[in-house]
Each structure stands twice: as C-alpha cells, then as structure tokens.
Amino acid sequence: MSKAEWENNEEIKIFREYLRIPTVHPSIDYTACVDFLKRQAASIGLPVEVVYPVNEANPVVVMKWLGKQPELPSIILNSHTDVVPVFADKWTHKPFSADMDDEGRIYARGSQDMKCVGTQYLAAVRALKASGYQPKRTVYLSFVPDEEVGGVLGMREMVRQDYFKSLHVGFSFDEGITSADESYSIYYAERTLWHLHFKISGTAGHGSLLLPNTAGEKLHYVVNKMMEFRATQLKRLNEDSSIDIGDVTTVNLTQLRGGVQSNVVPPLLEVVFDIRFAVTVDIPAFEKQIRDWCEEAGGGIELYFEMKNPFVEPTKIDDSNPFWVAFKKTLDELGLKTRARVFPGATDSRFIRHIGIPALGFSPINNTPILLHDHDEFLRADTYLHGIEVYKKLIPAVANA
C-alpha cells in the first residue's frame, strides 16, 4: 500500500486518533480517551461500562461482546490507556501528532506500548462482528489506567472487586514486547519485582579517624555481595544462548543517599536495589541470604521494601491449558515463528495471574526496532494492519476453546 492508501484506511485513522490523545504521565486527564472508547464501542455495537476501581480520575472502560454460551468463563482482551512521559526535544516528530512518513511509519508515544494493541482488538472485533460471527465465550475488552506506574489505581485494585469477579474471566490477553527480528514472543510469566532499601547505621565521627563499624564499611560489604550475585547472573546470560534476560535475576543499584559533610563519617547511609527474580528462584531463601549478609556486615541494617511483589505462578503452557493450546496452534497455523518467554518487566498480567487466571502477553509486532519508552517510538502501518489479521484468527480460536 502507498502512504495515501494507509492514510485513507479506516483502521489506521482510528489508531492515529487514539495516539493523538495525550494520556501521558504524570498528570493524566482521561476524559478524551474515555469519550473515544465510548464512540468505538457504539460504532461496533458493543455495550460499554466505565468503572472506577479507586477514584474518578482513573477510569476503566469495559466493553462486552456477548458469547453464545455466556455461562462459560469469559475472555478478557486487556490493554492500558496510559503512556510514559516524553522528551519532546528528542523527537523528530511531535510525540502526539501520529505523523506518518512515506514508508508508513507512524510516530507517536504509545504506538508500540500499547495503544496499538487496544485498537487492534477493536478492529478485529469490529470485523468479526460485522461478518456475523459470535464467539462461544463472552469476550470483554478492558482499557485500564495507571499501568505504566504500577497499576495501583487500575488493574491491581480492579481484580479485587466484585465487579471484576462478576465478569467470570477464564483467560486474559495482554501486551507483549516488540520484536526486532522475524519472531514473535508469547509471555507466560513475569519475574517478581522488589525495590529493596537498605538503611545502614554505623559509628559516626571525625573523618580523620579509622572508626569501627562505620556505615560505609557495612555498605561496602552489602553492595559487594549484591554485585557478586549480579555477576553470576550476567555470566549465565552470556554463556547460555538458550536463555534471555527474563530467565535470570537482575540486580541493579539504583539509588545512594547519605552524609552531611565531607569530613564527617555519617551515622546513616542508604542504598536501594531494583531486583527482579527469575521464576525459578527460591525467593524466601534469597531474602534470608540478604539478611544473613546484613548480619555478616556488622548488623545495624534495616531492610525496607519500597515494593515487594509476591511470587505469581506462571501460566501453564502445556496441554493442560486449553487456552494456551488454542493460542499457540493458531499462531502456528498462521506460519508465525514464536517463542514462549518470561516477561522481563511487569505488566497488568501479574495481577490477573495472582488471582489464578491464566494470561498471555502478546503484541503482533516483529521486524521493528524496540522503542518502548524511547524517543521517536513508531509502528509501521503495514505491521499494524497485519496485527489486526492475526487477532481476527486468534480471538475466535481462544474464545471458542
């Protein structure tokens, strides 16, 4: 297709309209977004509800496509409406203009993460419904806020409420990650996220002395132990080509604080680590190891968890899960090269899985530079339209499982 044909394509128009709504952190007004989604629901003929799990500033939009057997567990097609901040001076196109170049690249924040998936769901359902198709299971399309900053005001609270329980969800679709090569990734699990804060107390005094049990000595010991463990994970990653970043535990020092003056030994130093545990790690045993290191360092170290997500069981990717079987079979029949992986970051799927509902993350984007959260984020029009065709096969297959 030419640029003119892409620009005149109705689904591309809808996608670009969605991208132009600046649902960007830190202060988001979702009003225009909710209005847009209501119009889309009306155009397809789907009933729509707006619910507020926490407050009216953070709405969840839910559309319902009634199935032939609504008593069966339903399918949810989840996407988030918020996007991360931009540094506009680093972009060659305005980040909320949805400009398209001659090669069909559509530039906008959210083009990959993940407004594309939200409107691809809509496009696939629009086409299927227009053809007269009705799924066996009821299908819900959920558009949630707050995912980019932890989901606390969106999906995390929503799954705890009676409204979500009333949807009788049996399986969830959610986002994946863009692939730079020809393959497509299917994400069946996520690593467990900790933000761990060490408050290290020690002997204070004059900087000219060699005082015992200083906070600096203890910090040195703890940081060395954490970095030595980090090195083992990096070694695994470098030596085993069959694994990737989602299969190892990442440890990164992200913050250091303390001290009042250059010639004063401080009574307190603080260090923060971002830790993301591989699904194979015995997390309670690792926490005990950290506490043992703190004692070995000399004690006087308080651990404070700024975030301590619970371990969540991965979604089963075997014959015991009929949704997985239908999902994988469909992509195989489409001739798509796929790989089942552990998501390296965190998505709303962790909240879904935590209440026992299987979920798979998948974005039908390949042969595209990975620009999630980066400058000049873009998606090609042909890739977007191909993704709709994929969902037109994938949604019915899973809904009929």
As a whole number, mean pLDDT of residues 25-35 equals 97
Tell me the pLDDT tens digit for each residue of 358-401: 999 999 999 999 999 999 999 999 999 999 999 999 999 999 99
Q: How confident is the model at residue 111 (pLDDT cuts 50, 70, 90)?
A: very high
The reply to whether 108 and 9 lie within a common domain is: yes
pLDDT at res. 154: 97
pTM recorded for the entire structure: 0.93
As a whole number, mean pLDDT of residues 90-114 equals 97
CA-wise closest residue to 275 among 234, 309, 241, 232:
309
pLDDT at res. 345: 87
Whether residue 1 is predicted with pLDDT greater than 90 in this model: the reply is no
Domain count within the chain: 2
The reply to whether 12 and 136 lie within a common domain is: yes
Whether residue 189 is predicted with pLDDT greater than 90 in this model: the reply is yes
CATH number, residue 88: 3.40.630.10
The reply to whether 121 and 171 lie within a common domain is: yes
C-alpha Rg value of the chain to the nearest Å: 24
In a domain, 314, yes or no: no
Mean model confidence pLDDT for the chain: 97
pLDDT at res. 340: 96
pLDDT at res. 311: 95
Asked if 213 and 300 count as a contact pair (C-beta separation under 8 A), the reply is yes
Q: What is the CB neighbour count within 10 angstroms for residue 304?
A: 12
The reply to whether 116 and 227 lie within a common domain is: no
The reply to whether 133 and 282 lie within a common domain is: no
In a domain, 341, yes or no: no
Tell me the pLDDT tens digit for each residue of 302-316: 999 999 999 999 999
Residue 262 identity (one-letter amino acid): S
Q: How confident is the model at residue 278 (pLDDT cuts 50, 70, 90)?
A: very high
Q: Which residues are catalytic?
A: 82, 147
Whether residue 167 is predicted with pLDDT greater than 90 in this model: the reply is yes
pLDDT at res. 169: 98
Whether residue 339 is predicted with pLDDT greater than 90 in this model: the reply is yes
CATH number, residue 228: 3.30.70.360
The reply to whether 135 and 214 lie within a common domain is: no
Tell me the pLDDT tens digit for each residue of 211-268: 999 999 999 999 999 999 999 999 999 999 999 999 999 999 999 999 999 999 999 9
For residue 298, the enclosing domain spans: 192-308
**Residue after which a domain boundary falls, among 293, 308, 323:** 308
Q: Helix count (H) and strand count (E) of the chain? A: 11, 17
Whether residue 75 is predicted with pLDDT greater than 90 in this model: the reply is yes
Angle ∠(166,172,176) on CA atoms, nearest 5 = 150
The reply to whether 57 and 84 lie within a common domain is: yes
In a domain, 186, yes or no: no
As a whole number, mean pLDDT of residues 154-169 equals 98
**Residue after which a domain boundary falls, among 290, 308, 326:** 308
The reply to whether 291 and 377 lie within a common domain is: no
Strands 105-107 and 99-100: antiparallel
Whole-angstrom Cα distance, residue 171 to residue 33?
25
In a domain, 143, yes or no: yes
The reply to whether 171 and 200 lie within a common domain is: no
**Residue after which a domain boundary falls, among 266, 287, 308:** 308
pLDDT at res. 347: 95
The reply to whether 208 and 141 lie within a common domain is: no
Write down how long the chain is. Answer: 401
Strands 192-201 and 268-277: antiparallel
In a domain, 347, yes or no: no
pLDDT at res. 36: 98
In a domain, 290, yes or no: yes
In a domain, 356, yes or no: no
CA-wise closest residue to 247 among 343, 370, 120:
343
The reply to whether 148 and 51 lie within a common domain is: yes
In a domain, 128, yes or no: yes
The reply to whether 80 and 116 lie within a common domain is: yes
